[in-house]
Amino acid sequence: MVKKKKYKPKPFESTGLSSDTSANIYESMLLSPAFKNLTTRQKLLYLYCKSQYYSEKTVDKPNPFAFTMNRNKWLKKYELYSDSNAKQFYKDIEGLINHGFIKCIRGGKLIRVKNIYEFSDKWKCWDTSAFVIKDNELTYNMQIKKYNS
């Protein structure tokens, strides 16, 4: 039996801490029409979502592609948005959902728990007739907007 060697980050990739995780982004995604259409902030948020996904414990996940991104994480841990700019976080999450990169599998606003998101491969068919976002993949705020429109 051949043991697979664990990848060792290059000096420019990491501080070398054993708890460090990586967030791979492939060129096919970077060059996709869906990714190119994201705003710079949405692209950055996606990178932090990937980092969060790889750093979360698997026992807490309802499925293998799930992750959480709550206020404490985007405000304090990652310092992506200010407290006064919380609406921008939700707009950016909606952008990632609307481009097929993630979906919301549990909206926690009504029951005061964390939203749970899941990575999606729908970005591959974004801007085609095959691209459909189901109501149950939207956040609570997106559902309200959709039904009030």
Q: Domain limits of the chain? A: 33-148
pLDDT in tens, 40-88: 999 999 999 998 888 877 656 678 888 888 888 888 988 899 989 889 9
Separation of CA 100 from chain center = 10
Alpha-carbon gap, residue 76 to 74, rounded angstroms: 6
Alpha-carbon gap, residue 38 to 98, rounded angstroms: 10
CA angle 109, 114, 115 (to 5 degrees): 70
Model pLDDT, residue 45: 96
What amino acid occupies position 144?
I
pLDDT in tens, 102-125: 998 887 666 677 888 999 999 999
Model pLDDT, residue 140: 56
Model pLDDT, residue 146: 53
In the chain the first and final C-alpha atoms are separated, in Å, by 60
Sheet architecture: strand order including 102-106: 66-68, 116-119, 102-106
Beta bridge partners of 102: 119
Q: Residue 103 — φ and ψ, nearest 5°? A: -140, 155
